[in-house]
Chain A
């Protein structure tokens, strides 16, 4: 292989090909071992159909071998992803949509004589508000009678965490952080309530699956019985019906009524929105990171041409924002669950497969609205540390200072000793002044809070 061409750190498992970067552009090498499947994907019209339905990431063929490998068949240039996210940052409905997209792709593939050879959440990304399959080489020729090789992987990556969320209120992002390859059937079966054994589809795909895992010899099963095309379609259909019917148990969380609470006046929120919108109107930005986005009130003020990554540690807020964006067909905002004090770290083989959250991109603009007291007081993080952190992730910053006299801060200090002598507006400005230039500052009417617009020092 050419010295300069190195496969992407997350692209080494599938011998059909790999992704690599050359001159800042991502390409996909397709090996001649995949020729027959690739030709069928194209000639059957499956690739075109799925791209048209916005379920498969578009790609173009490049007639050039950048490597010196003799097994070269095609070079593909996939559409660039605006921002990469992982299942341990997704809310329930995001994982559910990723699951349903995977199943509907598998179902469409079966109609064209193909099937998915893998079905993991890492093959799905959110692009323009839609869950899309990004791995063009996930398809293989379907042989009638053969079972679905990715069946277990699909159940573990999608079905099991979704069932645990729907029946036990567990959070899918936390489950998939603990089990990045998917939650095993046995663990799921142990945690699910007894009533799920009475549901035929859940019983079959989880409880029976857990009982049989590791007990059967594959070769003898394969020789004696066959799974026909109709059987396969019914398996996919049953998974689709089961997942479609799942919903989150309704519960009030810490934050999903934050702005509805009477403690903060209506005037405060509307004035803050007006101020932020006016500043945004004068700014030049193409990417925004909203930290502590709640249900996205301020992300929604950003222009639609910009990429907005709206993060909050509350999964209910992010799920609510995701469903709202989907209903209103707003495609420029990517809602993700991120706990600022424990953001996603580098994961996978050699810590290189999945990039840490804040190493993925530097943003033009950051929002830290009604956030500083949660970091400084609830988490004991100093203003110096917070200012340094923001200067690493964004070039401009809109940040709100919440004083000790604010009812929210008073509430936080009600039951604990006030050890925060340095929590003053003066210290705040001093710490941020070390890394940023103050561009604007204004009081938010209806509150004692102050809004700052900072620009990073060069």
Chain B
């Protein structure tokens, strides 16, 4: 594995990912819960065209 680590990840960039991971987990939890609640009231709109193109072609 070591021979592939040719890029310096930068000190602090590991710690930041651990912190971001924690905060994002909370943010995504609330976002998903909110979307779940919203889905009871609003019919979800289809994904926009650009996103569809990017994933399909």
- Spell out A's residues near B (CB within 8 Å): 13-16, 33-34, 37, 53-54, 100, 104, 117-118, 140, 143, 147-153, 200, 204-205, 208-209, 212-218, 221-222, 225-228, 230-232, 234-235, 237-238, 244
Contacts and interface: CB of A to CB of B under 8 A. Distances in A.
B19 to A, nearest CB: 7
B55 interface: yes
Pick the 9 closest A-B CB pairs, nearest first: A231-B21, A216-B15, A152-B13, A147-B17, A152-B10, A225-B18, A212-B12, A221-B15, A234-B24
Given A221-B14, A221-B18, A200 B27 contact: yes
Main DSSP-derived SS at the B contact region? helix
B21 to A, nearest CB: 4
A151 B13 contact: yes
Given A53-B57, A147-B9, A238 B16 contact: no
Given A118-B7, A140-B4, A204 B15 contact: no
Interface in B6-56: 6-7, 9-25, 27-28, 51, 54-56
A37 B3 CA distance: 12
B54 A212 contact: no
11 contacts: A104-B54, A117-B6, A149-B5, A152-B13, A200-B23, A205-B20, A212-B15, A213-B12, A215-B11, A231-B21, A234-B28
Contact of A214 (B12, B20, B55): B12
A217 B21 CA distance: 18
Q: Which of B10, B18, B19, B51: most chain A CB closer than 10 A?
A: B10
Nearest to B7: A118
Nearest to A104: B54
Contacts, number: 110
Q: Which of A147, A150, A208, A213: most chain B CB closer than 10 A?
A: A147
Given A215-B12, A234-B28, 15 more contacts: A14-B6, A15-B4, A34-B4, A53-B57, A147-B14, A204-B16, A213-B12, A214-B10, A214-B12, A217-B11, A226-B18, A228-B21, A231-B17, A235-B17, A244-B51
A51 to B, nearest CB: 12
A207 to B, nearest CB: 11
Nearest to A52: B57
A147 B18 contact: yes
Q: Which of B3, B24, B28, B56: most chain A CB closer than 10 A?
A: B24
Contacts of A54: 57
B33 to A, nearest CB: 15
A204 B14 contact: no
Given A208-B19, A227-B17, A235-B17, A150 B3 contact: no
Given A147-B13, A213-B11, A15 B6 contact: yes
A15 B14 contact: no
Contacts of B13: 147, 151-152, 209, 213
Q: Which of B6, B11, B17: most chain A CB closer than 10 A?
A: B17
